[in-house]
Amino acid sequence: MKERISSPVRRVDAYEKAGGYARYIADIPFDHLLYGKLVRTSIQRGRITGIALPDLPEGYRFISEGDIPPGGVNQINMITSDWPVFTTGEVRFCGQTIGLLVGPDRQVLHELHKAVAVTYDIEEGSSTIEEGLACRGGAFVGEDNIYVEHRLKKGDPDAAFSQADRIIEDVIETGFQEHVYMEPQGITVEYSNGQLVFHASCQCPFYIRKAVAPSVAMNLEDIIVHQVTTGGAFGGKEHFPDIIASALAVAAVAIQQPIQVVFERREDISYTPKRHPSQIIFRTALDRNNRIIAMDVDARINAGAYQSCSAVVLQRTMFSANSVYDLPNVSIRGRAVATNTVPSDAFRGFGAPQGIFAAEMHMSHVARLVGEEESEFKRRCFLKQGGRTVTNGTIHEQVLLEQMWQDISLESGYYEKLKSNPSGSFRGIGVSYYLHGGGFTGNGEQALIDSHVRLKGMKDGRVELLLSTVEMGQGLATTYRKIVASALGIDISRTIFLDPSTNRVPDSGPTVASRSIMVVGRLLQRAALQLKTCWDGTREETVEIGYEHPPWVEWNQETLQGDAYPAYSWGICVTEVEVDRASFEVETKGVWTIHEVGRAIDEQIVHGQVNGGVIQALGYASLEKLELKEGRFYQNTLADYMIPTSLDFPPVYSKLVENPYEYGPFGAKGLGELVFDGAAASFAAAVQHAIGRPVGRIPVTPEYIMELMSDE
């Protein structure tokens, strides 16, 4: 009997991780290991005027810009190269690397670190989007503090606005979010025989190699990055490991001994990137039947003090700014704003959660204002197969949203609950609809990544998977092995997947963008089918294949026009809440979700992602307040930065519908980010219904609800 690909198998890493046998970077011993501690800026903006070091005992070094080897540059080679390895003069944010103290004894390092005295000329800095746009303290990026600006246009919004019967304006805002991966950032570096070897908790081994090369003027081949067991990442280990690795590279070349940097939790919360805060302003034109005829969107994201990947995040925000709706006339302006905060960076959803939250809340505000039931109002605008996206691309697949809604509205009792709990009754139910495009935006998979995977059939009948996308807790080791085993028709126990090293595996790209299964899994499937034709399990045979773009996808990266993504995954989330009349605390009574991800490679892993993603989004929506005070994060411990516990939300109902995608392995599409995208809006909509007042920002804390309730 043939097993369905979706039937769960035991996760290949379950035993070692649940049992505590897995070794993370801080657990792996090295001979003659030195420790590194970053010396950082302590002001938000200004200039360094002096650095006074204590007397360093023998064996201790302070590594800074002057230690960059001949030919090396003081730059980290990310998407742009604006972020220096070591700050010399200009301080753009609190927590920038000045240097690295290195030595054998952490107690001594701790004392030395406390004794470093840095003096500054302090300048006025900016923290918020408004302050950034107003160039508080003077612009520090271009003339206007804008890293990138894009505009999109669909239809003829100007004409439509001139015919509007009514125009509704709205501002929707989202805050910072900290990743809280279970394992903080950590890397160990070794240097010998002219080679740098990194052991890193990371998502993208090849990014690290590329990022550090210019600072130490080394060839890519002489830099080797091993990914080690990684305790969660959520996007936080996409680029930030580059920052640590660059400083470590310079130190390792100078000292020629293994050096380890492992962050402490408070350090990790204080100084590593966060999700981009957003402020999205809508103007929506209605005709006299209250139908939307045009929408104007002005999306601003807080990119922080260096650019990192903000340009790409901004595109996702813009492309998601109409959520699942096909509106006739749309204009979207997007700006990534420079501020003096820790550079914002990748975080599960990569800009989409902000766009979706804003669009969903705005649509529900419009529905309330015109006196229509939200779900009815939204459903009338659903994208359909053949429909047009905001980049004037086409929805190629069948869209099952309507059928999914029939299912989940019944399961959640949406309509009855709506009726029995009128608006303002302190009980409420809310819904959000959402989508996520799988893979890199536009032609990124082709132009930027061009991923390759290799399969090595061995004499003993086993097959090794060689690729650079990583297991970081999300279950990839299991799903990859399952794909290859199924395609070859062998048992999963005959497949091997080891944590990748850049010197052993081809570059299958970074572990990001919901691409690992849809794009890279597909490569594995193709490679396995090819191996099957030429390998009989008794001799060695290697197959390597590369990415092929679906032929019908058209995209222009200059104009951002066409199919921004080849395929989308879809979801609906319904949330029911009760608001306490005295304390304004929100109790979540139920959460119901339904997702269409093509086909699940492993149902248990998919449901795990749904649970984790939805709870993470509910935390973002309600608890995870992260404020800045003089450029520092105010909630910088896990006692103050609140992520949900198992008591904060009820179990999540999770259902899947199938809609196989031709270019995904066994029909699979993207999943990891989709499941984060929608829950925040459904929660906020439920609270809004419960208190009978529009909610315009997250987190929806009891303090914010009190504010809304007192606006009588």
Partner 1 sequence: MVDVYHPKTLEEALQFRSSTGAVPFSGGTDIMVRYRTSHGVLPDLPWPIVLLGHLKELQYLRLRKGSLCIGAETTLTDVMDHELTPPLLKQAIGLMAAPALRNLGTLAGNIGNASPAGDAVCALIALDASIELASPRGRRVVSLDLFIVGPGRTILAEDELITEIIVPIGEGHISWYKKVGTRRANALSKLSVSADWAVDDNVLTHVRIALGAVAPVVLRCRDIEDDMTGMKLPEIALQREDLMNRYKCSITPIDDQRSSAAYRKQAASNLVGAVLDEMTGGR
Residues that bind partner 1 (CB under 8 A): 26, 35, 106-107, 109-110, 262, 264, 267, 581-585, 623, 627, 634-635, 639-640, 642, 644-648, 702-703, 706, 710
Q: How far is the CB of 21 from partner 1 (least distance, A)?
A: 20
Q: Which is nearer to partner 1, 105 or 149 (CB)?
A: 105
Q: For residue 259, what are its two tokens?
A: 């050096």
Q: How far is the CB of 17 from partner 1 (least distance, A)?
A: 20
Q: How far is the CB of 112 from partner 1 (least distance, A)?
A: 12
Q: How far is the CB of 29 from partner 1 (least distance, A)?
A: 13
DSSP strand pairing (568-579 vs 97-103): unpaired
Cβ atoms of residues 43 and 87 within 8 Å: no
* 694 phi, psi to nearest 5 deg: -70, 140
Q: Which is nearer to partner 1, 155 or 702 (CB)?
A: 702
- Bridge partners of residue 708, in order along the sequence: none
Q: Which is nearer to partner 1, 33 or 79 (CB)?
A: 33
Q: Which is nearer to partner 1, 414 or 641 (CB)?
A: 641
- Which string of DSSP letters, residue by residue, matches 25-56? GGG---TT-EEEEEEE--SSSEEEEEEEPPPP
Q: Which is nearer to partner 1, 36 or 566 (CB)?
A: 36
* 132 phi, psi to nearest 5 deg: -65, -45
Q: How far is the CB of 41 from partner 1 (least distance, A)?
A: 19
Distance CA 131, CA 42 (A): 20
Could you count the other beta carbons within 10 Å of the beta carbon of residue 574?
Answer: 28
DSSP strand pairing (568-579 vs 427-437): antiparallel
Q: How far is the CB of 706 from partner 1 (least distance, A)?
A: 5
Q: How far is the CB of 15 from partner 1 (least distance, A)?
A: 24
Q: Which is nearer to partner 1, 420 or 645 (CB)?
A: 645
Q: How far is the CB of 426 from partner 1 (least distance, A)?
A: 13
- Find, among 513, 504, 531, the residue nearest to 673 by Cα: 513
Distance CA 546, CA 155 (A): 37
- Find, among 123, 164, 113, 442, the residue nearest to 295 by Cα: 164
Q: Which is nearer to partner 1, 398 or 637 (CB)?
A: 637
Q: For residue 487, what are its two tokens?
A: 């395609």
- Bridge partners of residue 304, in order along the sequence: 338
Dihedral sign of CA atoms 246, 249, 254, 257 in order:
positive
Q: Which is nearer to partner 1, 260 or 516 (CB)?
A: 260
Which one-letter amino acid corresponds to residue 569?
Answer: S
667 secondary structure, DSSP code: G
Residue with tokens 């991800």: 597
279 secondary structure, DSSP code: E
Q: Which is nearer to partner 1, 15 or 634 (CB)?
A: 634
- Find, among 455, 502, 472, the residue nearest to 201 by Cα: 472
Provide the 3-class DSSP secondary structure of residue 465. Answer: strand
Q: Which is nearer to partner 1, 401 or 691 (CB)?
A: 691
Q: Which is nearer to partner 1, 121 or 703 (CB)?
A: 703
Angle at 513 between CA 511 and CA 514, to 5 degrees: 85
Q: For residue 68, what are its two tokens?
A: 């960059």
Q: Which is nearer to partner 1, 312 or 626 (CB)?
A: 626
Distance CA 476, CA 456 (A): 18
Q: How far is the CB of 583 from partner 1 (least distance, A)?
A: 5
Q: Which is nearer to partner 1, 565 or 683 (CB)?
A: 683
340 secondary structure, DSSP code: S
Q: How far is the CB of 68 from partner 1 (least distance, A)?
A: 27
Q: How far is the CB of 241 from partner 1 (least distance, A)?
A: 18
Q: How far is the CB of 580 from partner 1 (least distance, A)?
A: 9
CA dihedral angle for residue 309, residue 311, residue 316, residue 317, rounded to 10 degrees? 110
Q: Which is nearer to partner 1, 556 or 583 (CB)?
A: 583
Q: Residue 273: exposed, middle, or buried by beta-carbon count in 10 A (0-12, 13-18, 19+)?
A: buried
Q: How far is the CB of 154 from partner 1 (least distance, A)?
A: 42
CA distances from 273 to 8, 88, 178, 185, 577 (A): 35, 21, 8, 11, 31
Provide the 3-class DSSP secondary structure of residue 269. Answer: helix
Q: How far is the CB of 688 from partner 1 (least distance, A)?
A: 19
Distance CA 510, CA 468 (A): 7
CA dihedral angle for residue 438, residue 439, residue 443, residue 445, rounded to 10 degrees? -150
Q: Which is nearer to partner 1, 267 or 296 (CB)?
A: 267
Distance CA 595, CA 117 (A): 54
Q: How far is the CB of 701 from partner 1 (least distance, A)?
A: 8
